[in-house]
Amino acid sequence: MTLRKSAVKQAGCSSAVQVRLTPTPEQAVRLAAAVAVCNTAATYASRIAWEQGVFGQLALHRLIYRHLRDHFADLGAQATVRTIARVADVYANRRSTRKRAHVFRPHAAVPYDARMISFNRDARIASVWTPAGRIHVAYTGRDSDLKAIATLPIGECDLIERNGLWLLQVAVTLPRPDFAEPVNGFLGVDQGTANLTVTSDGEVLPGKTLPGTIENNGHIRGLRDRRHRQRRRLQAKGTSAARRRLRTLAGRESRMMKDVNHQISKHLVRKAERAGIAFTTVDPAYTSQTCPRCGHVTRLNRPERGTFRCRSCDLAGHADHIAAINIANRGVEGWGAINRPHATGLPSARRAPESKPQTSTRGR
């Protein structure tokens, strides 16, 4: 399973919990004013950033901090700092915003950091910044979420108004469990486009079968079928405009599948970290052309797409399943190399996950 380095976190496991604020009518008005002024100021700052071509947080802060403080009298110092950082993040993460200024919705979620919100965990009361001063609002939620806020380190929060309810989405840091040494080998995971995920024990996980947040990608097969019909119609036309449209569609589908595979990779890494399951990364090169029985490697082992047949020992099977088996085997070899004792007799320093080669297997 090919992984990006950003999918592996270095300290702790990040998560998010949600609680519901229970403000009085007067407090709700003040919360609404906070959301409105922050989003209005963010849109204003976004327009200036786009017009001036300044998108870095530090440069943007130097450019418009004083201007925002003068233009929005109700916006506090820390709220101004967070507004500028929010605008810089939007331009850093979305290429489309380089074509036009990003507009923040009037009721969009507003980020709060530790200087804008604090928690009395025993009394379950949040002290929330508003333009008219701080307010102390009680909060409630699921027992698991309340326990997380009461016991775990808290990061940034998002203040959200949804259907008349005031919600806080709180980032928390879970303790990273000790990894259990794999005793039964590794489970190899191969990713592709025809089959999103195939494991070394033969399980195929397309679409809604995938767990957790990835289940919403069940529409992908239907979308690809629709794209296939559209390509056939354009190919039948054969005009220059049709060929240009075909190139556009090919790039769009490739980007979509690349994004989906990246989501799956991050999802698996996050789940493995939280469960204390050992995982390692391996080089995926030639895994679908290598025979796991005899080790013979050639392109001729792939007579057809999706089919594997070894030219040496005649082993046959699904190409993605064969690739997953090879990934599992490389995981065993890679894990042994990482944990091999040093020649001097001193314990070897285990490499940080982000320094390992790319593509992953999970210990069982």
Give a yes or no: residue 179 inside a domain. Answer: no
**In this structure, are 206 and 277 located in the same domain?**
yes
Q: What confidence score (pLDDT) does residue 357 get?
A: 40
**In this structure, are 202 and 302 located in the same domain?**
yes
Boundary residue ending a domain (111, 139, 174): 174
Q: Which domain holds residue 192?
A: 186-363
Across the strands, what pairs with 161? 166
Give a yes or no: residue 180 inside a domain. Answer: no
**In this structure, are 229 and 339 located in the same domain?**
yes
**In this structure, are 68 and 214 located in the same domain?**
no
Give me the helix-helix angle, 25-52 and 57-71, nearest 10°. Answer: 130
Question: What is this structure's pTM?
Answer: 0.65
Q: Are strands 154-162 and 125-128 parallel, antiparallel or unpaired?
A: unpaired
Boundary residue ending a domain (139, 174, 209): 174
**In this structure, are 206 and 235 located in the same domain?**
yes
**In this structure, are 191 and 127 located in the same domain?**
no
CA angle 268, 265, 194 (to 5 degrees): 115
Strand residue runs (E) in 51-141: 110-112, 117-120, 125-128, 135-140
Q: Are strands 197-199 and 186-191 parallel, antiparallel or unpaired?
A: antiparallel
**In this structure, are 154 and 202 located in the same domain?**
no
- Measure the CA–CA gap between 315 and 362, rounded to whole angstroms: 25
Edge-first strand listing for the sheet containing 125-128:
110-112, 154-162, 165-174, 13-21, 135-140, 125-128, 117-120
**In this structure, are 168 and 20 located in the same domain?**
yes
Q: What is the pLDDT along the chain (364 residues), one digit of tens a residue?
A: 333 233 334 456 788 999 999 999 999 999 999 999 999 999 999 999 999 989 999 999 999 999 999 999 999 999 999 999 999 999 887 655 567 888 999 999 999 999 999 999 999 999 999 999 999 999 999 999 999 999 999 999 999 999 999 999 999 998 877 777 776 778 888 887 677 788 888 888 765 455 444 545 556 667 777 878 888 888 888 888 888 888 888 777 777 778 878 888 888 888 888 888 888 778 888 898 999 999 999 999 998 888 999 999 999 998 989 999 999 988 888 776 656 555 445 444 444 444 334 444 555 5
In the DSSP assignment, the letter for residue 5 is G
Question: Looking at the 3D structure of the chain, how many domains does it have?
Answer: 2
- Measure the CA–CA gap between 351 and 342, rounded to whole angstroms: 13
Distance spanning both ends of the chain, measured CA to CA: 16
**In this structure, are 21 and 115 located in the same domain?**
yes
Residue 145 phi, psi (nearest 5) = -70, -40
The alpha-carbon radius of gyration of the chain (Å, integer) is: 26
- Measure the CA–CA gap between 54 and 75, rounded to whole angstroms: 22
For the chain, the maximum distance between any two Cα atoms, rounded to a whole number of angstroms, is 78
DSSP string covering 161-207: EETTEEEEEEEEEEPPPPPBPPSS-EEEEEE-SSSSEEETTS-B--G
Q: What confidence score (pLDDT) does residue 356 get?
A: 38
**In this structure, are 263 and 325 located in the same domain?**
yes
**In this structure, are 147 and 272 located in the same domain?**
no
